[in-house]
Amino acid sequence: MPTVLKRPAAAAAAGSAAKKHKPAAAKPAAAKPKPAPAKAKNPPKPKRDPLLVSVSAGLALSKELPDTAKSMLGDMLDFALTLYKEDRHQYQQNIVELVESTLGDVEKGLETSLEEAQNGIKQSEDKKESCTSIVQDNEAKLVDQSAVVQKRKHELADAARAFRATRESVNDIKISQDLAEQDLKKAQCDKEKLEAALADYFQPLLAAGASAGDETGQEKVDCLTLILKKFNMDEAMMTAVPMALLKEPGVRGPFDTMVISQLEAEVNNRIVAYDTTLKEAEPAKAERAARLEEASGAFEEAKKAQLACAEAFWEASKGEESRQSSLLEAKQSVSEAGKEARRFQKDAEKAERALSNFRNGPQAAFLQLRDRTAPPPEEPPAEVEAPAQAAAADAEMDAAKAPGGQAGAADEAPIEVSED
């Protein structure tokens, strides 16, 4: 292939362009910081024997030792219980005995808690039984007291009715007496009015009459007429009487005299009737007074009886309320005793589980560590016969079994090996 020659100017331009297009050199990457050397990890702490952990947990249950003593005793377990029984020093044995004593105290404490819970159950059951008996007794007494209350209630109702009846009787007698007294007072008043009318008006007019133009005589006639009209006298007679009385005695005719006589007789009859009524009213008045006194006495007795019945009812009601309160308290005591028994039952179950867990856990672990002894030495293995001896023995046995020993001789013939 022919060589291509370029002009010097073209060569220079080409070189300049090549320099322009030459890629820039990459900057060196920043150096990464070296990681710090990893800290050496502490070697893992060896796990503690689970039996020692269990014994240490049992020591923690002690209530006799302070926390520092329990912690120190727990740390000494590894130096005493990890050794076999026969390998322990006297000081290590003392530690074992101290641990045993402490665990024994813990067991006694758990047993005491269980016993207290069981005693609490028994006492609560006894209390519940006693309170139940009290409830039954109070229920029976409440029934009896309620019957007494009902009886006193009926007695009070009867006494109240008797009280009302006697009060009404007294009131009726008083009303009757008041009416009778009013009638007597009216009769006495009417009698006195008639007597006054006769004395003040009728007799003077009867004796003298009234002269012409005598206003005094006319006033007397008017007053007499007004009074007599209130007593419902005969109207015809009352019409003729004024004219007859106004006449002088000498000029009165037979009719006037008759009318005046009739009026006088009627008024006197009325006065006599009133007087008779007043006289006859005395025994009736005394009888009414006696009846009132008797009724008043019965009323006072009924009042006292009602008060006594009310007091008896009040006392019976208070007794019933007291029985109800006692019954309620007894029922509450039964409920509280039941709750207390259930609480003690839970405490007993909890204490029993704690005691069982302690005996099967820390105490069992301690006993296992305490009584642990070194295992017996291993027996040497039985000697094995040499292979040659075994082979010889086998050969002798085979020779003995073969007839005439030929088989054995044939077996023992040497085997030729070709050198080719």
211-243 pLDDT, tens digit each: 656 678 788 888 888 888 888 888 888 888 888
C-alpha to C-alpha distance for 238 and 200, rounded to whole angstroms: 18
Residue 251 to residue 221: CA distance in whole angstroms: 17
| Residue pair 158/354 in contact by the 8 Å Cβ criterion | no
Amino acid at the residue 416: E
pLDDT tens digit sequence for 345-388: 999 999 999 999 999 999 999 999 888 888 887 776 655 555 55
82-100 burial string, b = 16+ CB within 10 Å, else e? Answer: bbeeeebeeebeebbebbe
Q: What is the pLDDT of residues 311-358, one digit of tens each?
A: 999 999 999 899 899 889 989 999 998 998 999 999 999 999 999 999
What's the rounded Cα separation, in Å, for the pair 366 and 51?
7
Position 150 scores a pLDDT of 94
CB 308 within 8 A of CB 301: no
Distance in angstroms (rounded) separating the CA atoms of residues 23 and 369:
83
Question: Alpha-carbon distance 297 to 303, whole Å?
Answer: 10
In DSSP notation, 151-166 reads HHHHHHHHHHHHHHHH
Question: pTM for the full model?
Answer: 0.51
212 DSSP assignment: T
